[in-house]
């Protein structure tokens, strides 16, 4: 009898819309494929301890983008990537944008099989100057405000809550005075307001909106999408085009690529919100994100 591979399973039964029966199904499939140790961390210390104890085993994350980000952030902060093998994801969250970008199965049984038996693929990460990890996309401007607004909608509406938050943000806010540099070159200066800056290593956000359609988790660069739509009509049509993935065809949108991106408020007295992988951070006057190519290995 062939020994099964040993896998560390990081479970979050409360992630997104996950139900108890879904968790039971996934665990049963994983147990058929591997010898599993299941951990449900309640704190950062418990997460770090679990990953330290992985002993080179592959890790399977049961949860959404937030659960995966927690694992990656812990590995980055504690320098634990060398203590684990690959990371597989069974998408059980609300948006599941990382899974969409990587082409992972949405069927839970198939996803569990892929998380254990899929092909290893090197993936990139963004890390900001405070050490925070971005595995998918980070936004400044209207998308960050939309996330703040969506907090009152997502519990009741699921992924549709993101769109509701965006509509509210678009109706109440114009542009931001920001300076943006990509690999040391200024691409937005003091004389141009922006509506939105997105730095992406994955294509979709908010449950499938293709904010950076050409971004890939594996191409060793970040896509920087900058929108300058200012008037009420321009903002409304930009939002509609964004939902259809057509916004990058607009004259008031441009995309550049790079590995180090700095966003700074043009006004020394003003700060901006940051939405990284769907979570709001502190308000910043300046922030820099640096790409770490091939930082981790995902099963796909």
**Same domain (yes/no): 137, 285:** yes
**Same domain (yes/no): 144, 95:** no
Residue 228 has pLDDT above 70, yes or no: yes
In a domain, 123, yes or no: no
CATH of the domain at 265: 2.60.200.40
SS3 114: helix
So what's the pLDDT on residue 2? Answer: 54
Kindly report, residue by residue over 243-298, the tens digit of the pLDDT.
899 999 999 999 999 999 999 999 999 999 999 998 898 899 999 999 999 999 99
So what's the pLDDT on residue 110? Answer: 98
SS3 235: helix
Q: What are phi and psi of 187, to 5 degrees?
A: -110, -15
* Residue recorded with tokens 């049961």: 62
How many domains in the chain?
A: 2
**Same domain (yes/no): 148, 102:** no
> For 219, left (φ over 0), alpha (ψ -120 to 50), or beta?
alpha
Domain stops at, among 118, 151, 185 = 118
Distance of alpha carbon 295 from alpha carbon 130, whole angstroms = 17
Domain stops at, among 65, 83, 118 = 118
Q: Which domain holds residue 28?
A: 5-118
Kindly report, residue by residue over 179-213, the tens digit of the pLDDT.
999 999 999 998 889 999 999 999 999 889 999 99
So what's the pLDDT on residue 174? Answer: 65
In a domain, 142, yes or no: yes
**Same domain (yes/no): 145, 275:** yes
So what's the pLDDT on residue 175? Answer: 87
Residue 19 has pLDDT above 80, yes or no: no
Domain stops at, among 118, 150, 173 = 118
**Same domain (yes/no): 147, 276:** yes
**Same domain (yes/no): 157, 260:** yes
CATH of the domain at 99: 3.40.50.10330
SS3 3: coil
């Amino acid at each position: 009898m062939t020994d099964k591979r040993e896998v560390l399973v990081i479970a979050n039964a409360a992630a997104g819309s996950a139900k108890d029966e879904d968790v039971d199904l996934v665990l049963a499939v994983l147990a058929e494929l591997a010898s599993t140790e299941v951990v449900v961390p309640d704190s950062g210390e418990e997460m770090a301890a679990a990953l330290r104890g992985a002993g080179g085993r592959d890790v399977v994350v049961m949860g959404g983008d937030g659960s995966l980000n927690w694992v990656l952030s812990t590995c980055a902060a504690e320098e634990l990537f060398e203590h684990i093998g690959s990371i597989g994801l069974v998408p059980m969250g609300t948006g599941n944008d990382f899974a969409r970008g990587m082409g992972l199965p949405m069927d839970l049984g198939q996803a569990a099989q892929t998380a254990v038996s899929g092909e290893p693929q090197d993936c990139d990460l963004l890390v900001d100057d405070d050490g925070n990890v971005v595995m998918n996309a980070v936004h400044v401007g209207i998308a960050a405000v939309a996330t703040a607004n969506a907090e009152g909608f997502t519990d009741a509406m699921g992924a549709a809550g993101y769109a509701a938050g965006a509509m509210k943000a678009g109706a109440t806010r114009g542009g931001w005075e920001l300076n943006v540099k990509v690999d040391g070159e200024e691409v937005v200066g003091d004389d141009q307001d922006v509506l939105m800056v997105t730095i992406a290593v994955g294509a979709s956000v908010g449950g499938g909106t293709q904010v950076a359609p050409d971004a890939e988790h594996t191409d060793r660069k970040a896509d920087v999408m900058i929108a300058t739509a200012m008037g009420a009509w321009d903002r409304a049509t930009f939002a509609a085009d964004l939902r259809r993935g057509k916004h990058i065809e607009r004259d008031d949108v441009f995309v550049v690529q790079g590995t180090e991106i700095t966003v700074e408020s043009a006004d020394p007295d003003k700060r901006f919100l940051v939405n990284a992988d769907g979570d709001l951070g502190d308000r910043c006057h300046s922030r820099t994100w640096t790409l770490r190519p091939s930082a981790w290995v995902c099963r796909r």
